[in-house]
Chains A and B, each alone.
Chain A
Amino acid sequence: MALRSGPMSRLLLPGRTLIQRFAYLFLLLGAVGLMLVGKADVVLVERARTAVIDATAPILDFLSRPAAKVAAAIEDVRQLWDLRQEVDRLRQENERLLRWQQAARQLESENAQLRELMNVVPEPGVRFVTARVIADAGGAFVRSLLVNAGGRDGVRKGQIAMTAQGMVGRVAEVGDRQARVLLVTDLNSRIPVMLESSRERAMLSGDNAERPRLQYLGTNARVEVGDRIVTSGHGGAFPPGLPIGLVASASDWEVRVQPYVDMSRLEYIRLVDFQLDGILLEADRSLARSPGRR
């Protein structure tokens, strides 16, 4: 692959090289300065990010459409291979689910009756927005998504991102037309959870691996592979009982959880407003409440 060399031999003159080197040094110092500023003034960085992403959201939206199409086509071809098996599996699953549906209906009516008897305070209403994933930013270092719904669609910081299978993450930044969702697998994600069967409390902390870790389990807690993990609702940031995943591996020093949702193939997610703002700071809270402002 031989290439024509352009008219830039003048760049290699010694004087220019010296100036060039100084320019690099200057720009590199600028980069280091940016890192320090980013560490010190989180709000400023977040504003800048939101502005840039807002400006590029239409382009990202445009780019994500063919990508989704290609992914769907690949998936189609793959599914053709094992269509028959899939039908069988779904038929069985359908049967099982119908039985569950019956059970759920019974429980629902029983629950309603009991609530009425006990005079339980009703949970606040739940609203949600469904949004399309327009970018999965971050690569190997950050687990977050951009979705094409933002402040003007009613998305607020702290809302929970879910699919039908379970929890995906939490809204971390909100722009006008887009929002950033921090996935449960991200390095910065900490979610108070419990084991559904034993009600044992723990903290689900992401470390950018596909399976987040379960930390701060009680010393006598018994964890087994396959245990269901749900949110505990402690701290007031997440409602209790949202499904997150199953215990995938449990050893003496580490317990890892496989989320129900396959984070690599998200296309549409729901951003649910449970009307909770336990983790937001006082300043954020006023922002979160006044719509139309960032």
Chain B
Amino acid sequence: MIAVSLSRSLDRLRRVTPILSCFLMVLLSVAPHGLPQFQAVSPDLAMMTVFYWAIYRPDLLPNWAVFVVGLFQDLLGGVIIGLNVAVLLIVHYVGLSQRRAFIGKPFVIAWVGFLLVAIGTGIVFWVALSIMSGTIVIGRAVLFQYVLTFALFPVMTWVLVRVHRYVVG
């Protein structure tokens, strides 16, 4: 009996791992790393995570969970409430609707796909923020942030593939 209930709760834990990983990435992205000059360009870890799960296990990361993750990121990060929600939803939608193009293909294709998504959402983010704050927010830091996010995508994928294989199963 105990073994059954234990395996059941382990299974449940497995199934929420993608959602938990998104929350963890949001927390990690605001943790201070103390690297000089890098504070302004912290990569968007949650975006990569959402993109990954949207492609490879969308059944474990439903869009309402993405909504909650985005809201959490907005409340924690201090940017306009709802902006990250919209951005993550777009990322999730693109990942999910184009997943056929990525699954089973070389990793480079997913990477390029992610680049396109990142560029699109970056523009959405920048325009929305400029409208909401009433000034043109300077773009260099934004650009660096997305370049870094793009560059770290393989690293993140490497980690998530391990999580996917050994934890989620």
Q: Are B35 and A71 in contact (CB under 8 A)?
A: yes
| B138 contacts partner chain A, Cβ-Cβ < 8 Å | yes
Known pairs A34-B71, A208-B138, A264-B38; A8 contacts B63 (CB<8 A)? no
Residues of A within 8 A of B144 (CB): 140
* Interface hit among A49-57, A112-120, A224-232: A49-57
Instruction: Please classify how large the interface on chain A is, using the bins under 10, 10 to 19, 20 to 34, 35 or more.
Output: 35 or more
| Complex Cα gap A28–B87 (Å) | 9
Find the A residue at minimum CB distance from B36. Answer: A264
**Could you tell me the dominant secondary structure of chain B's interface residues?**
helix
| A32 contacts partner chain B, Cβ-Cβ < 8 Å | yes
Q: Are A31 and B67 in contact (CB under 8 A)?
A: yes
Q: Are B59 and A8 in contact (CB under 8 A)?
A: yes
Number of interface residues of B (CB under 8 A): 66
Within 8 A of B (CB), among A256-291: 262-267
| A217 contacts partner chain B, Cβ-Cβ < 8 Å | no
Most-contacted residue by chain A among B100, B129, B144 (CB, 10 A): B129
Q: Are B77 and A139 in contact (CB under 8 A)?
A: yes
- Name the one of A3, A53, A67 contacting B33, with C-beta atoms under 8 angstroms: A67
Give 27 CB contacts A-B under 8 Å.
A3-B104, A5-B104, A8-B58, A11-B59, A23-B63, A23-B64, A30-B85, A31-B86, A32-B86, A34-B85, A35-B86, A49-B75, A49-B76, A56-B27, A70-B33, A75-B34, A137-B78, A139-B29, A139-B41, A140-B41, A140-B145, A142-B79, A180-B78, A207-B137, A208-B141, A264-B36, A266-B32
CB-CB nearest 10 A-B residue pairs: A71-B34, A34-B82, A38-B81, A35-B82, A140-B141, A31-B85, A31-B86, A1-B107, A63-B31, A52-B75
